[in-house]
Structure 1
Amino acid sequence: MPVPELPPPQSSLPEAVTRFGATVLGAVAARAHDTDAVGGPTGGRPLPGPPAGLSFGPPATAVPPTAVPPTALPPTALPPTAVPVTDAPGQGVGLERLLRGPHGLGTAGLRLTPREERPVTPAPREGRPIPGLYHHPVPEPDEARVDEVSRRIKAWALDEVSLYPEEWEEQFDGFSVGRYMVGCHPDAPTVDHLMLATRLMVAENAVDDCYCEDHGGSPIGLGERLLLAHTALDPLYTVREYQPEWADSLHADAPRRAYRSAMDYFVRAAGPSQADRLRHDMARLHLGYLAEASWAQQDQVPEVWEYLAMRQFNNFRPCPTITDTVGGYELPADLHARPDMQKVIALASNATTIVNDLYSYTKELDAPGRHLNLPVVIAEREGLSDQDAYLKSVEVHNELMHDFETEAAALAAACPVPAVQRFLRGVAAWVDGNHHWHQSNTYRYSLPDFW
């Protein structure tokens, strides 16, 4: 079947992007129809089967997304459908300032107050968005794809990598990773492409839970565990005598089994530069884990700027950075390495990670020990109340989001190349899908009573 046409944008990049939106996206969609179902612009090669030695079961038929005609990017920084801030009583200067929206030169169009257009009303299952948080509502992910990805990822977790014991099944199901990845990758041509991202997401969370967090994790000895796990992504090349011991170690625990398998699938579908890009971003992630672990060992709360520096490494960056692989095409290495592209990816990843800090705030407060997140660090370091620190964290997120959209627009204007345009759209879609998943996952998240 042909690659489906690109869906409409889920995040509005500012006006400069629209100068190229219609022609560029039209060209990408036309090119997509000239390729087969999985190859995209990279040459139509089929996605691989499971790596050798893994049982995968009968393949399922890929479920196509709902066909949506391509559209040009909208001309405003804040679309008419943006969720408005609901009326809320002023509870301190922080809340009033937040509800007034961004201020300063060039921010008149970035309002958080209601517009005349009818707002998008979330369905009951979508949960409550954080008041004042700048975001874009998105359609519900395609249910058929969600069901198929959910079925496949659970089979992979249980049958291929023995990821978790029976008592963790409810938590695995409650994570709703199928809905998460389908919502974040609306232009994925097939379910097979979506599974590339889904396996990696599950593997990354296994490492975080089992090595760092609440399923046996500890800051003590974390460096060794992460380094050995990283060799499942970036293979060890050593002398023959010791190679078998390393190979056996990749099956030693669930995180390493998951990393090895997920990466095997990924490298068979990705180009060499795409695979190396992912390895680099995973090393960044592990470096961020180590910084946070060092603060935990010393019972130290970092300065706010130090925390934000850590969050530029310990963040979601490995996820949006593979949006082209999941989309069935490749952003050339020289374009990905441009400093302005790196800045856009970093800003998007930073913003999405602060979303996690905000939605997981009450969950982490209820967990044993002290969990660092942006509101906790701001409250401690700047002497603010819990409420004012949380509201200031919302402002930090909003500034990052506006910077991301501004920088993405500037990059689109400076480099009107089809692959760049599509990649920026993919990153924006990931940002919006990430927010939607956090907002709608009421199994995991609830909001504090600050409004």
Structure 2
Amino acid sequence: MPDPGPSPLQSSPPVAAAAYGLGRGAPAGRPGLPSGPPLLHVGRAADAAAVPVPVPVSVSLPGPMSAPVPGPAPAAEPDLAPEPGRELTRILAGPSGLGTTSLHFGRRAELPAASDLPAASDLPALPEPAAPAEGRPIPGLYYHPVPEPDPARVAEVSHRIKRWAVDEVQAYPPDWEDQFDGFSVGRYMVACHPDAPTVDHLMLATRLMVAENVVDDIYCEDHGGTPVGLGGRLLMAHTALDPVHTTSEYQPAWAESLHSDAPRRSYRSAMEYFVRAATPSQADRFRHDMARLHMGYLAEAAWAETDYVPEVSEYLAMRQFNNFRPCPTITDTVGGYELPADLHALPAMQRVIALAGNATTISNDLYSYTKELSARGKHLNLPVVIAEREGLSDKDAYLKAVEVHNDLMHEFEAASAELAAACPDPRVVRFLRGVAVWVDGNHYWHMTNTYRYTLPDFW
């Protein structure tokens, strides 16, 4: 397989400089896509091999509408969605109507040209390239290598998160300490957010990551978790993220319940820190993505209770919800800026975020395969589902799951490139870059975490 090149934050010159020039040319057969390598990895070494990007599935992207076809249209449901190009123009132009003139600082009647956008030097400085991290990647897996994360930051985040987990929320008993240390969450989060301006910003993501794993371990999986009654437990835990608004008589009982177990204590505290740093829109976005995560937990639990092995398509649908999505979606909060709600809600942006979550979650399925096979009961992951539903051997099913991951990664990169070309807003480019770096950092952590993961003997 061709070398996909380094993670975007390791590109030189900075990726943002080239990203601002997107849309000036497109390769044959891919209208609207920039020429050259995928958007988020431009500026690689001259000898890096080009990676062909497959044509993505059809998706509505911001851009001009095609000309109407003359003649009567067949009967169909009315399309109530706004015209993509017009909607994007409205978002970038800002608020309009009576009383909104004062909200603009130099309103533009048209979208800015690429030459009018800020230079790459206006974005935060990117770290210098460094030697790739050590680790054993899955053979044939498509990924971008990253350097070792800043050791000083890793040490500080690791120290702070352990103090928070032990002293503030009592997230785990003393006999779980080796497992907490082996998780290497400080190294994980520094690798995923190298552009975080301060350690305090990194801690926002780190607390939430630990809290999510406490909920998963205690309610669902490794440490006494069971599908029986999971819905009620998850609902009460979710109220630590999305507060209950009830009567004065019953509010104290709800508030007290948030301290009753480690998952709720962890969620409550992590979310309090996050809300103080995030905008209301960013906080609500995160709550929405956590509701998606919990819905995915419940689907998997329902299948476990009935011993149902889903079709591969059903499993992939479940994994779009039970996945890493809440982590990359906060990349702007951790980076100290905000992608506005209208831009985050664009269908094309939602597709990019979904594909990032899907690809990283299938990567987790692959790296945790042997760990899950040794766990009690039958643990569903993509290779297991493919083997059972498609009648393949364990090895062939695993190798097919690698292909599924690679297809998702190519779709993610193609969708990111299309969106950046269609929406010339530097905040969009920065957010897309942050999501791509999160994807690469997530793979780095799985590849190097030999405490948790070992690869099957299929090669």
Give the TM-score normalised by structure 1. Answer: 0.76
> Is 1:439 matched up with 2:447?
yes
Aligned position for 2:8: 9
Distance in 2 (alpha carbons) for counterparts of 1:368 and 1:74: 41
1:165 to 148, 173, 186: 173
CA contact (8 A) 1:10 1:137 kept: no
Equivalent positions of 1:177-256 (< 5 A) are: 177-256=185-264
CA contact (8 A) 2:53 2:414 kept: no
* CA spacing shift, 1:380–1:11, aligned 2, 3 Å: farther
Equivalent positions of 1:261-276 (< 5 A) are: 261-276=269-284
2:412 to 393, 404, 410: 404
Could you say what secondary structure the match of 1:227 adopts?
Answer: helix
Total equivalences in the alignment? 362
Q: CA deviation at 1:213?
A: 0.2
Distance in 1 (alpha carbons) for counterparts of 2:299 and 2:206: 26
One-letter code aligned to 1:9:
P
> Is 1:75 matched up with 2:42?
yes
CA contact (8 A) 1:17 1:412 kept: no
Could you say what secondary structure the match of 1:436 adopts?
Answer: helix
> Is 1:137 matched up with 2:136?
no
Q: CA deviation at 1:79?
A: 8.7
Could you say what secondary structure the match of 1:217 adopts?
Answer: coil
Distance in 1 (alpha carbons) for counterparts of 2:257 and 2:417: 45
1:190-231 CA-partner distances (Å, limit 9, x unpaired): 000000000000000000000000101000000000000000
> Is 1:302 matched up with 2:310?
yes
One-letter code aligned to 1:364:
E
Q: CA deviation at 1:426?
A: 0.3
> Is 1:355 matched up with 2:351?
no
1:172-197 CA-partner distances (Å, limit 9, x unpaired): 00000000000000110000000000
* CA spacing shift, 1:394–1:300, aligned 2, 3 Å: same
Could you say what secondary structure the match of 2:434 adopts?
Answer: helix
* CA spacing shift, 1:104–1:201, aligned 2, 3 Å: closer
Stretches of structure 2 lacking an aligned partner (at least 5 in a row)? 1-5, 23-38, 57-129
Distance in 2 (alpha carbons) for counterparts of 1:140 and 1:11: 11
Q: CA deviation at 1:73?
A: 5.5
Stretches of structure 1 lacking an aligned partner (at least 5 in a row)? 1-6, 24-71, 85-100, 107-119
Could you say what secondary structure the match of 2:233 adopts?
Answer: helix
Distance in 2 (alpha carbons) for counterparts of 1:357 and 1:447: 11
From the CA coordinates, give the structure whose radius of gyration is larger. 2
Q: Percent identity between the aligned chains?
A: 76
Could you say what secondary structure the match of 2:8 adopts?
Answer: coil
Give the TM-score normalised by structure 2. Answer: 0.75
1:321 to 316, 320, 329: 329
2:424 to 377, 400, 416: 416
RMSD over aligned Cα, in angstroms? 2.5
Q: CA deviation at 1:20?
A: 3.0
Distance in 2 (alpha carbons) for counterparts of 1:80 and 1:186: 26
* CA spacing shift, 1:80–1:229, aligned 2, 3 Å: farther
Q: CA deviation at 1:75?
A: 3.4
CA contact (8 A) 2:339 2:431 kept: yes
1:335 to 338, 343, 360: 343
Distance in 1 (alpha carbons) for counterparts of 2:373 and 2:194: 33
One-letter code aligned to 2:413:
E
Distance in 1 (alpha carbons) for counterparts of 2:302 and 2:150: 41
* CA spacing shift, 1:216–1:74, aligned 2, 3 Å: closer
Distance in 1 (alpha carbons) for counterparts of 2:400 and 2:247: 53
CA contact (8 A) 2:40 2:417 kept: no
Q: CA deviation at 1:247?
A: 0.2
Q: CA deviation at 1:127?
A: 2.4
